[in-house]
Amino acid sequence: MSKIAIVGGGPAGLSAAIELRRLGVERVTVYERERHAGGIPRHTNHLGFGGRDLHRMMAGPRYAHALIDRVERAGAELRLGTPVFSLDQLDADAVILATGVRERPRAARLVPGDRPAGIFTTGSVQQLSMAGRRIGTRAVIVGAEHVSFSAILTLAHTGCRSVAMVTHLPRHQSYGVVKLATASWRRVPVLTGVEIAEIVGRRRVERVVLSDGRTIACDTVVFTGDWIPDNELARHIGLRMNPAIKGPAVDHAFRTSRDGVFAIGNLVHRVAAADRCALDGRAVAAEVVRSLA
Ligand SMILES: Cc1cc2nc3c(=O)[nH]c(=O)nc-3n(C[C@H](O)[C@H](O)[C@H](O)COP(=O)(O)OP(=O)(O)OC[C@H]3O[C@@H](n4cnc5c(N)ncnc54)[C@H](O)[C@@H]3O)c2cc1C
């Protein structure tokens, strides 16, 4: 009886589980460290998910539910609240790593200044917003990627106005239409070629000082994008890494440098759309079955 363990219950891991069961693998277990499966889409409450894999356009939470529902119907096991730190925890013939990415928080970006309340990442803003919590009133967004523009909408949803976006790069890194529908429409200036030189505030953020000397009054700073693969497990088990992505190096069949260990999704792409990660999940299932045979 073949047993496959999947680490990470986001679109990539869930899709791999569904496909493995469809291909006849007897025991498929998804290990997810959170108490809910679904990965990032669970907190991303806007349309844009499912186009290429489920052939429907859905909001993130609905997309996550659709995948979880399919996993359950397929007969794969979901082990929630179960972080995987080592392969010794897993009783499996092959392992698929699908641990995704996370945003670099302020500490990892070495931004100088005080340590007051009011400093977030997009991920934490999304979670607070879904829980109906208030975030602040005037936010400076650090970064100008797709996710940074999405943060404007999430903040607005909680009643927090974005007063500026700041990127050290010479231009934003999203589509013109995304910028138009978010920053331009809400009159949020995108300040390029500057960084935050200092965050100032005693209890709560009071202002930020930019590298060109300008000061912006705000009570909230949101660090967005600047993704880093969730690669602790991959490094812990000694996989060869891809220095450009900082995730495990894989070949065309998602095989890592260790026999029987595969890696898919944002862990190996850093920033790809959810449906692309889901399609990785489908593709790797066939490779895993072939390798077992
Ligand atoms: C704000 C925002 C908006 C987005 N909008 C869109 C959009 O409109 N359309 C779109 O297609 N994509 C969008 N994306 C991108 C999409 O969410 C990601 O591409 C997708 O979630 C990646 O899937 P994944 O399975 O690789 O990783 P993830 O979704 O990150 O899932 C990884 C899972 O692994 C778990 N995990 C990590 N380490 C361990 C461990 N050691 N043990 C157990 N579990 C572990 C995590 O808890 C997580 O649940 C958006 C992303 C963000 C942040």
pLDDT in tens, 195-246: 999 999 999 999 999 999 999 999 999 999 888 899 999 999 999 999 999 9
Q: Which of 205, 225, 245 is the last residue of a domain?
A: 225
Looking up residue 154, the CATH number of its domain turns out to be 3.50.50.60
Same domain, 94 and 169: no
Considering the entire predicted model, what is its pTM?
Answer: 0.89
| Mean pLDDT on 56-81 | 97
**pLDDT for 77-113, tens place per residue?**
999 999 999 999 999 999 999 999 988 888 778 888 8
**Are 92 and 81 spatial neighbours (Cβ–Cβ below 8 Å)?**
no
Task: Return the ∠ at Cα 242 (arms to 97 and 89), rounded to 5°.
Answer: 25
Give the distance (Å) from ligand 1 centre to CA of residue 63.
Answer: 12
Mutate to test the pocket of ligand 1, among 40, 52, 80 (most ligand atoms within 8 A of CB): 40
Domain stop point among 225, 257, 284:
225
Verify whether ligand 1 is closer than 6 Å to residue 36 (CB atom).
Answer: no
The predicted structure's pLDDT at residue 246: 92
* Alpha carbons 135 and 236: distance in angstroms, whole number: 36
Cβ of residue 154 lying under 6 Å from some atom of ligand 1: no
pLDDT of 134 > 80? The answer is: yes
- Same domain assignment for residues 152 and 170: yes
Atom of ligand 1 minimally distant from the CA of 83: 42
> What range defines the domain where residue 174 resides?
105-225
Residue type, 71: V
Helix axes 274-292, 11-22, angle to 10 degrees: 40
Of the two residues 131 and 237, the one the predictor is more confident about is: 237
Type of residue numbered 63: Y
Q: Are both 110 and 218 inside the same structural domain?
A: yes
Query: What is the total count of domains within the chain?
Result: 2
| Whether 239 contacts 263, CB under 8 Å | yes
Q: Is 121 in the pocket of ligand 1 (CB under 6 A)?
A: no
The span from the first CA to the last CA of the chain, in angstroms, equals 12
Q: Extract the tokens encoding 139.
A: 């936010």
Ligand 1 pocket mutation pick from 30, 31, 44, 145 by most atoms within 8 angstroms of CB? 44
Burial of 148 (0-12, 13-18, 19+ CB in 10 A): buried
Task: State residue 130's pLDDT score.
Answer: 85
